A and B are shown apart, each in its own frame.
Chain A
Amino acid sequence: DAGITQSPRHKVTETGTPVTLRCHQTENHRYMYWYRQDPGHGLRLIHYSYGVKDTDKGEVSDGYSVSRSKTEDFLLTLESATSSQTSVYFCAISDRDRGYGYTFGSGTRLTVV
């Protein structure tokens, strides 16, 4: 399996503070994705990357930014966290070995209080 790790696994933060979530992969995959999971909404795409310094928006990108300075790292930043951003965040890579399905990280549960 492709190695993909997310950090932190859990985080509680206050409204208005910046937060950065990290995704790290060890398999040199080109495509990486950030999703958020909310009850009744399934998983929704926030941002994705198709290479170093190449990123684009997904369907729920407002309030989020991303960066990819190295192939292995994809960072998701909440510039000023709001309670509506309380969610579970998943990083994923597109894995040809899985028929172009995703391999997911273990997720980050973020609570904004």
Chain B
Amino acid sequence: AQTVTQSQPEMSVQEAETVTLSCTYDTSESDYYLFWYKQPPSRQMILVIRQEAYKQQNATENRFSVNFQKAAKSFSLKISDSQLGDAAMYFCAYRSSTNFGNEKLTFGTGTRLTIIP
């Protein structure tokens, strides 16, 4: 079974600075998807960014980018120019692409990000 590990329960960053959240995963599969979700105090789960394992290029969405290291099974999230609205719990998630008809996500335990004004 796949596992996802987020080793940083909490992190903080000064506003306008850059922060990197870590995620590692364990899988024997070669093709899969990885995601980062944001959960602000409103509790809503918001998709931030996704990465297909077959793509070597790291995904980017505005101020959010990932560092995908397939051999190391690492998938970190970099937030540039941190803003107060980035304060949230961030979850890393894994989805196999082999079970096409069963698209379950496995989540990490989350990292709570605090933005310091």
Contact = CB atoms under 8 A, between A and B. Distances in A.
A72 B6 CA distance: 34
A94 B50 contact: no
A33 interface: yes
B47 A42 contact: no
Classify the interface of chain B: helix, strand, loop or mixed. Answer: loop
Interface stretch (B14-22, B69-77, B79-87, B104-112): B104-112
B105 A102 contact: yes
A98 B103 CA distance: 12
A71 B9 CA distance: 37
A98 B107 contact: no
A45 B93 CA distance: 12
B33 A99 contact: yes
Interface of A: 31, 33, 35, 40-45, 48, 50, 58, 88, 90, 92, 94, 98-104, 106-107, 109
Interface of B: 4, 6, 9, 33, 35, 43-45, 47, 50, 52, 91, 93, 95, 97, 101-105, 107-110
Given A98-B50, A101-B47, A106-B43, 4 more contacts: A42-B110, A48-B104, A92-B105, A104-B44
